[in-house]
Structure 1
Amino acid sequence: MIEYFLRKCLFCFPPETAHKLVLKGIQYGLYKNKNLYSDEVLKSTHFGMEFNNPLGLAAGFDKNGICLIPLSKMGFGFIELGTVTLKPQSGNPHPRIFRLEEDQSVINRLGFNNVGADEFIHNITKQYEHRKCIVGVNIGKNMNSRIATKDYTNMLKKIYACADYIVINVSSPNTPNLRKLQRYNALKSLMQNILDARLEIDSDEKKPILIKISPDLRENERVGVLDVVSHKKIAGLIIGNTSIMRKGLISSKRVEYGGLSGKGIFGISTRILHDIYKETKGKVPLIGCGGITNALDAYEKIRNGASLLQVYTAIVYKGFTSVLQMNKQLSTILQADGFKNISEAVGVDVKL
């Protein structure tokens, strides 16, 4: 009830202001939500790590790593920080976040606003030692960078010691030309350079590297991405980032440009998840992200190929208590359908 009234108050503020207030509240202990949720039905192992539950916090919520420890106590199986870039940048002009309440969605055109690698590392170094769940770091390129490869390889080297996994973000629609890095030749070259950089600092190559792709990829573009994944040591894919599609939206704010997240992209992100699971024959771990608002949505993602899940916009509309609720309900749904463990349900709706 308290969280309901808190959200009502926060919605009186512009979205970006509300978000900053929430981060400050978490940072200074105003949120007392400590639900280190663990359930044998929901436990699974991926990338050599055990996840207590499949529900993760997507990148974008804590770009600067100021709330690593408190967020890791809120019931997530893992959290992803960032997107962080090599140099600090302010991002795109304001206003740049829009609530589409009728659609339970959000449009943002932030543009990787963050404090840069050095301050990010300063923020998370001590926190990382005391984390309560798996922590990933999502990295991108600066807007004015001429050589994207240098940004990513330098970022990888800087943050490698304070991440359990690293995500290469080549799919945000809010950084000019970033999505061109998903094209076959560009992605192949980029990932080879990134993997070479990892080898330089870690001969065991033990830290998993994932790629976050767009749900808007056309079939021929998807084929190229999967070819790169199959020939490189890519641990998995996050499907997907925000979308530039606007089909089915009713809010007047649907005309704003930027990336759409939330319920409005559940269908498109789940379809591409299904297709990629089928095309990879279930051999590449996939993180389903995009439009999950409840346990039934989470279950549908799992049945269509997601081994793990990420949420963000659902937190905007339903608060952090929804994390515990989704996990508990998901466990109940899995058992009701005869699954002893979540891994048994992954991809069951996909004909290989």
Structure 2
Amino acid sequence: MTPRIASILMPLMRGVDPERAHDLALRALRFGLAGADRTPDDPILACRVLGHDLRNPIGLAAGFDKSAVAIGPLMKLGFGIVEAGSVTPRPQFGNPRPRLFRLVEDRAVINRMGMNNAGIAPFRARLAALPRPRPAMLGVNIAINKEGAAPLRDYPMLYAEVAALADYVAINISSPNTPGLRDLQGERQLQDILAAMAETRAAQQAKPPILVKIAPDLSPAALEPIVEAVVTHGMDGLIVGNTTITRPGLRSAHRSQAGGLSGPPLKHLATDVLKRVASLSKGRNLTLVGTGGVASGADALEKLRAGASFVQLYAAFAYDGPALISRIRRELAALLRRDGVRNVADIVGADIR
């Protein structure tokens, strides 16, 4: 099967419960049923990010494969970056079902999964079994358990567990579905966590870059202390942002469901926050990642111009399937050539210079 055929079959999944459909998709990927995209990337998309040469700046966001069961097959679909997780120290079931909702009219998703995952032990074993070299940059998103968590212990421990396997590590302090997690974005808590992360990284033989994943719901006043904390403790950048608890202009009957919203309705909010973070980050040598509402080459270009070095998507992939990746790559390359850009890196931050 090819990615295009896999995408053609996607509408058949619409009648299946969303979480069941997601589990079936992961199983199909795990067994190679989605095929592989062997189309060469346009050279205009090649870029160097976080010390790695990437074929393109299109990434899969955390949350799609929390337990790293299909990372290898996902990397074969044409992504330049695949982020696994969020993974927690111990396994957890997550919140009661139903907890995942399709907002078809809005092409969006609301989830209150509660970070269901198998825990760090099997996660790490699966990453260790991935063949090298890998066809895409591997990110690992780390988080804390709902119960019994100790952030100053857990985040550094998880970093140490995956340091030799990940190309970068993302600290998730912004999921709305773990009670108290977003409070860790507060200045004092974040300073303490990042200080502990810096100490742990210094003790590791492998020292992959560390990104901090923040919420798109933060006020402008809250952003500057976060950027300062990231710089002060030598972190490498920020992912902007996670899902939102706002409900901007939704039409679906599921619009009032509790949880984090992802997809096109999030795009403008997330891009505005990205621009603010990019302005605050000027001259700081921070790598920014744009996520939230990316469904086309034009969406990717908007995030890149707003300051992102690469972009991530989730909801659009869930709706359109594997063929989406090659389409976004083609569209982005065409837009860059239209604008007379020699390389995608030249456009990063163009709107905030």
Question: Do they superpose with TM above 0.5?
Answer: yes
Do the aligned residues in 1 keep the contact of 2:201 with 2:207 (CA within 8 Å)?
no
One-letter amino acid of the counterpart of residue 136, structure 1: G
The alpha carbon displacement at 1:3 in A equals 3.5
Do the aligned residues in 1 keep the contact of 2:137 with 2:167 (CA within 8 Å)?
yes
Counterpart in the other structure of 1:319: 321
One-letter amino acid of the counterpart of residue 305, structure 1: G
Counterpart in the other structure of 2:305: 303
Deviates more, 1:273-282 or 1:45-54: 273-282
Pick aligned residue for 2:94 from 71, 91, 96: 91
Pick aligned residue for 2:291 from 286, 289, 292: 289
- Please give the secondary structure, in 2, of the residue aligned with 1:32: coil
Cα 1:216/1:37, change in 2 over 3 Å: farther
1:66 aligns with 2:62: no
Do the aligned residues in 2 keep the contact of 1:235 with 1:285 (CA within 8 Å)?
yes
In 1: Cα distance, 2:40 partner to 2:294 partner? 18
The alpha carbon displacement at 1:206 in A equals 3.6
1:137 aligns with 2:140: yes
Normalization by structure 1: what TM-score? 0.96
In 2: Cα distance, 1:129 partner to 1:75 partner? 17
One-letter amino acid of the counterpart of residue 301, structure 2: Y
In 1: Cα distance, 2:67 partner to 2:37 partner? 21
Matches within 5 A, 1:129-208: 129-202=132-205, 206-208=207-209
Do the aligned residues in 2 keep the contact of 1:36 with 1:73 (CA within 8 Å)?
no
1:112 aligns with 2:99: no
Pick aligned residue for 1:38 from 36, 41, 44: 41
- Please give the secondary structure, in 1, of the residue aligned with 2:97: coil
One-letter amino acid of the counterpart of residue 196, structure 2: N
In 1: Cα distance, 2:151 partner to 2:261 partner? 24
- Please give the secondary structure, in 1, of the residue aligned with 2:226: helix
In 2: Cα distance, 1:52 partner to 1:63 partner? 24
Deviates more, 1:30-39 or 1:83-92: 30-39
In 2: Cα distance, 1:30 partner to 1:323 partner? 16
The alpha carbon displacement at 1:198 in A equals 1.3
Counterpart in the other structure of 2:127: 124
Counterpart in the other structure of 1:344: 346
Normalization by structure 2: what TM-score? 0.96
The alpha carbon displacement at 1:129 in A equals 3.3
In 2: Cα distance, 1:315 partner to 1:332 partner? 21
1:251 aligns with 2:252: yes
Pick aligned residue for 2:50 from 47, 51, 61: 47
The alpha carbon displacement at 1:152 in A equals 0.7
Identity %: 39
Aligned length: 349
Deviates more, 1:53-62 or 1:299-308: 299-308
Q: Which runs of 5+ in 2 are unaligned?
A: none
The alpha carbon displacement at 1:271 in A equals 0.4
1:217 aligns with 2:194: no
Do the aligned residues in 2 keep the contact of 1:33 with 1:321 (CA within 8 Å)?
no
The alpha carbon displacement at 1:39 in A equals 2.6
Do the aligned residues in 2 keep the contact of 1:170 with 1:182 (CA within 8 Å)?
yes
Q: Deviations over 1:139-170 (max 9, x none)?
A: 00000124211111111111111111101000
The alpha carbon displacement at 1:274 in A equals 1.0
Do the aligned residues in 1 keep the contact of 2:46 with 2:56 (CA within 8 Å)?
yes
In 2: Cα distance, 1:36 partner to 1:69 partner? 17
Cα 1:212/1:37, change in 2 over 3 Å: farther
The alpha carbon displacement at 1:280 in A equals 1.3
- Please give the secondary structure, in 2, of the residue aligned with 1:50: strand
Do the aligned residues in 2 keep the contact of 1:36 with 1:74 (CA within 8 Å)?
no
Do the aligned residues in 2 keep the contact of 1:302 with 1:347 (CA within 8 Å)?
yes
The CA RMSD over aligned residues, in Å, is 1.4
In 2: Cα distance, 1:254 partner to 1:199 partner? 45
Cα 1:208/1:29, change in 2 over 3 Å: same
